[in-house]
Amino acid sequence: MGTQLELVWFDGEIIPSEEANVSVMTHALHYGTAVFEGIRAYFDAGELYVFRLEDHMRRLVDSARMLHIECQYSVPTLVSAVPSLLRGMGLRTSVYIRPILFVGVGGIQLDYRKHPKHLAIFAYPFSGYFRKSGLRVCISSWRRVSDESVVPRAKAASNYLNSSIATIEAKLAGYDEAILLDTHGHVSEGAGENVFLVKDGIVCTPPVYSSILEGITRDTVISLANDFGITVVERPIQRSELYTADELFFTGTATEVESILEVDGRKIGNGEPGRTTRQIRDLYMKVVKGRSSKYRRWLTKVYGQKSGKLTRANLDSSKGS
């Protein structure tokens, strides 16, 4: 990240980052027993807007529930924590926000249900995930994790080892990113992104049962496309369909909406970002920066509203709710 963070929300308190320490015996460090979220906040015209904050926190709690990781904080408490942290840090630039709920010290037993759980939230300035626009990708030799072995619908830390080895494989081969297939050989998702295909004016994306993570950016793009008369179909997608697509693009919190220009050495369309991709990306960026009143419900203002300072007393009162 380049610079040391000043503040972290840790187990209900905003504290200096150097005080947010965990033991090397932390269960999550050894077994990946953690769930997390990636959230963006965009600074525009003097205001910092957190995008779909409540939806992200609900997914965090849902992911934890699927994995028997108890979250002791309510969604409203987590939602209120983020603007307080950002204000406390005085951030007035676009940022990435990472809440993580993890299993603490409790021994080496694989049954971690009675182990202590911890929740941290940190944030740092962030402008973009990929260093360039327009990506060259490959189909990974690794298959996406499936419901037959783990829980791909949970945003679990352990699932991202699958993503990491796929990304490294792609970069060693000279590509920017990987696309993984599911266990049935259908397109699943990118290493950290959902995939969209455009063919003959129809936008398609893999369904939930193709072992995808139900991306919040994916949901946003589907909603925006539908509102503007662009047909979106959720269906299984064959690998070969990618090669003959008119357009391909990734979506994700960190990625936003990013064009895919080449797959496995095959140029997509004319090798330039397509009209539909550009239209969706432009609309998405307008929405996340608060420039569309129609979608203000998705935004949480950091500086444009008053809220009480988080205290140990009011945080404890919301635990378990």
Active site residues per annotation: 155
* Sequential DSSP letters for 82-115: HHHHHHHHT--S-EEEEEEEEE-SS-S-S--TTS
**31, 104 contact by CB (below 8 A):** no
> Could you give the CA distance from residue 119 to residue 126 in angstroms, rounded to a whole number?
22
**146, 211 contact by CB (below 8 A):** yes
Integer Rg of the chain from CA: 20
> Could you give the CA distance from residue 307 to residue 117 in angstroms, rounded to a whole number?
27
Q: In terms of residues, how long is the chain?
A: 321
- Judged by phi (left if over 0) then psi (alpha if -120 to 50, else beta), residue 296 lies in alpha
By CB atoms closer than 10 A (0-12, 13-18, 19+), residue 149 is exposed
Non-local (6+) Cβ contacts of 21 within 8 A are none
> Could you give the CA distance from residue 318 to residue 248 in angstroms, rounded to a whole number?
44
80: amino acid identity, one letter: S
256: amino acid identity, one letter: E
10: amino acid identity, one letter: F
